[in-house]
């Protein structure tokens, strides 16, 4: 009987892909996935510390396993990811949860198999947190679960040190993968039938800066788009300070690159942007939006926006609302500032009361939702192409996104997952579209 694993993932899409790597390592050692923690032989927590609620959620779920571990001493519990990479976090975790068997960090995720071997030969917990970034390991153990979509890391770490962000402290400095290794991985995925590839990095625009000009990010995109196969290419995330004309031209000239760009602005106030250490002004950001739409007129834009940053005034917040209106975002991911120890912003005076943060986020969400509904309404009566990616059993509908990120739902008598489907749109609701196959 095969041993079974359960992976609990928190945080961003990068963490989701890293969980695919963890799954691949476990499967290479004879494990198979299960959904019930009571059936598992090993439970792995892939944590995130970008926002405090994700960290608290992880702590709560780990603590809830104490009783299960007592009744099943052979159960292995492993905790890795950003949360453990924080200074002193591994020691605090072991003290709070002595029943945890393995603790590892972001820099040595690929060593999980070796840590399992060490644990097998010892009754003591194995704690292995690399203090510095190691060399990039190119072994691809990933057990991919998101067909027809696939995620490909092109770089790791971040050099930007935004004042609210802990990523540089837990994921280290920027390290770019060799372009030929990325090309080989993308080629394998496309040859394997994957139709949409998303390139991942904390700031993909910085790709190659640490490789002495060997290959820039726009050059990498052109390299990946040399194939004539029908597939989509996306990327995230882009820092506006490094977003320029060479990249915009690549988007315009490579047909595989989706005309949807995620360009986090975070705030519309120059004063707040400076405190955030974002290294651009609102006017500079809007000029980049103008440049993008000059070369790619149909391009849609999504963003991240944070409200309630320390010392944010009503005037600062209104500047953000003004930028949202002018930029015309397709949609936006909105957040309330979360104080993270270890960051520069956590030490700032003028922390905003929760009641003010809540009132502002509600006003922002109302504006974003209004713009999103308006853009969705333009789809009525149009025929679009979506990549069918899943089936919703409860609704009895297939679903998939167009290149601009809008989710379309439709009925079909046959399985359409993995196919490009032309869809005649009848109804719209928020970011969702309802239609009928036109092919």
Question: What does the alpha-carbon distance between residue 131 and residue 29 come to, in Å, rounded to a whole number?
Answer: 27
Rounded to an integer, the average pLDDT of 269-287 is 98
Q: Please identify which residue in the block is written with the tokens 């390139």.
A: 199
Q: And the tokens for 294?
A: 């000059």
Query: What is the average per-residue pLDDT within 191-198?
Result: 97
Helix (H) or strand (E) holding 21: helix 13-28
Residues with Cβ within 8 Å of residue 416, at least 6 apart in sequence: 388, 398, 437
How many whole angstroms separate alpha carbon 360 and alpha carbon 190?
44
Q: Which of 79, 74, 80 is nearest to 41 (CA)?
A: 74
Which residue has tokens 């104080």?
339
> What CA–CA distance (Å, rounded) separates 182 from 341?
35
pLDDT in tens, 215-242: 999 999 999 999 989 999 999 999 999 9
DSSP, collapsed to helix, strand or coil, labels residue 22 as helix
Residues 41-56: tens digit of each pLDDT: 999 999 887 777 777 8
Question: Tell me: the pLDDT tens digits for 321-338?
Answer: 999 999 999 999 999 998
Beta carbons within 10 angstroms of residue 236's beta carbon? 21
Residue 135 has pLDDT above 70, yes or no: no
**Which of 221, 209, 154, 201 has the alpha carbon at shortest distance from 182?**
154
Using one digit for the tens of pLDDT, what is the confidence trace for 401-424?
Answer: 999 999 999 999 999 999 999 999
Confidence of residue 62 (pLDDT cuts 50, 70, 90): very high
* Cα(304)–Cα(242) distance, integer angstroms: 16
pLDDT category, 81, cuts 50, 70, 90? confident
DSSP letter for each residue of 262-290 = E---B-S-HHHHHHHT----HHHHHHHHH
Q: Pseudo-torsion of CA 175, 51, 199, 136, nearest 10°? A: 30
Average pLDDT score, the chain: 93
CA R_g for the chain = 23
Task: Give the pLDDT of residue 132.
Answer: 66
Q: Are strands 331-336 and 383-392 parallel, antiparallel or unpaired?
A: unpaired
Task: Indicate the angle between helix axes 245-253 and 217-224, nearest 10 degrees.
Answer: 10
Sheet with 42-47: strands ordered across: 31-33, 3-9, 42-47, 76-81, 102-104, 126-128
Please say whether the dihedral angle defined by the alpha carbons of residues 20, 21, 25 and 26, taken in this order, is positive or negative: negative
pLDDT at 23: 94
Distances (CA, A) of 301 to 216, 272, 433: 22, 22, 18
In this prediction, residues 11-24 reach a mean pLDDT of 87
**Is residue 40 within 8 Å of 75, Cβ to Cβ?**
yes
3-state SS assignment for residue 370:
helix
Confidence band, pLDDT 50/70/90 cuts, at residue 57: confident
Confidence bin at 105 (pLDDT 50/70/90):
confident
Q: Which helix (H) or strand (E) holds 222?
A: helix 217-224
388, 400 Cβ separation under 8 angstroms: yes
| pLDDT value for 170 | 86
Given a cut of 70, is residue 84 above it in pLDDT?
yes
Beta strands in 49-115 (DSSP E): 76-81, 102-104
Section 93-111 average pLDDT: 90
State yes or no: pLDDT of 82 exceeds 90. no
- Calculate mean pLDDT across residues 250-269: 98
Distance CA 267, CA 27 (A): 43
pTM of model > 0.85 = yes
Is pLDDT of 139 > 70?
A: no
């Amino acid at each position: 009987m095969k041993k079974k694993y359960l992976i609990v993932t928190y945080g961003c899409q990068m963490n989701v892909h890293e969980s695919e790597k963890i799954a691949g390592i476990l499967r290479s050692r004879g494990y198979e996935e299960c959904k019930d923690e009571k059936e598992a032989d090993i439970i792995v927590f892939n944590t995130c510390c970008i926002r405090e609620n994700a960290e608290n959620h992880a702590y709560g779920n780990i603590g809830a396993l104490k009783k299960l571990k007592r009744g099943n001493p052979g159960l292995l519990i492993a905790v890795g990811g950003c949360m453990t990479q924080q200074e002193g976090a591994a020691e605090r975790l072991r003290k709070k949860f002595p029943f945890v068997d393995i603790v590892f960090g972001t820099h040595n995720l690929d060593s999980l198999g070796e840590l399992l071997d060490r644990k097998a030969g010892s009754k003591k917990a194995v704690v292995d947190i690399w203090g510095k970034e190691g060399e990039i390991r190119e072994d691809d153990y990933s057990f991919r679960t998101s067909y027809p979509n696939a995620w490909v890391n092109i770089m790791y770490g971040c050099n930007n040190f935004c004042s609210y962000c802990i990523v540089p402290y837990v994921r280290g400095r920027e390290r770019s993968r060799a372009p030929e290794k990325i090309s080989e991985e993308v080629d394998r995925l496309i040859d394997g039938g994957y139709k949409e590839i998303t390139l991942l990095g904390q700031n993909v625009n910085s790709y190659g800066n640490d490789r002495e000009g060997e290959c820039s990010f726009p050059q990498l995109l052109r390299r990946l788009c040399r194939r004539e196969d029908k597939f989509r290419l996306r990327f995230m995330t882009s820092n506006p300070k490094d977003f320029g004309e060479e990249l915009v031209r690549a988007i315009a000239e490579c047909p595989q690159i989706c005309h949807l760009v995620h360009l986090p602005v975070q705030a519309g106030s120059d004063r707040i942007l400076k405190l955030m250490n974002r290294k651009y002004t609102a006017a500079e950001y809007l000029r980049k939006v103008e440049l993008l739409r000059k070369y790619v007129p149909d391009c849609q834009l999504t963003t991240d926006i944070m409200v309630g940053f320390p010392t944010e005034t009503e005037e600062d917040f209104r500047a953000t609302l003004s930028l949202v209106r002018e930029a015309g975002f397709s949609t936006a991911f909105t957040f309330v500032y979360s104080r993270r120890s270890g960051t520069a912003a956590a030490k700032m005076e003028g922390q905003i009361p929760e009641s003010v943060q809540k009132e502002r986020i509600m006003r922002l969400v109302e504006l974003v939702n209004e713009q999103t509904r308006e853009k969705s309404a333009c789809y009525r009566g149009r025929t679009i192409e979506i990549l069918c990616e899943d089936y919703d059993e409860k609704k009895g509908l297939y679903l998939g996104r167009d290149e601009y990120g809008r989710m379309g739902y439709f009925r079909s008598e046959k399985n359409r997952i993995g196919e490009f489907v032309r869809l005649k749109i009848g109804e719209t609701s928020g970011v969702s579209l309802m239609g009928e196959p036109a092919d």
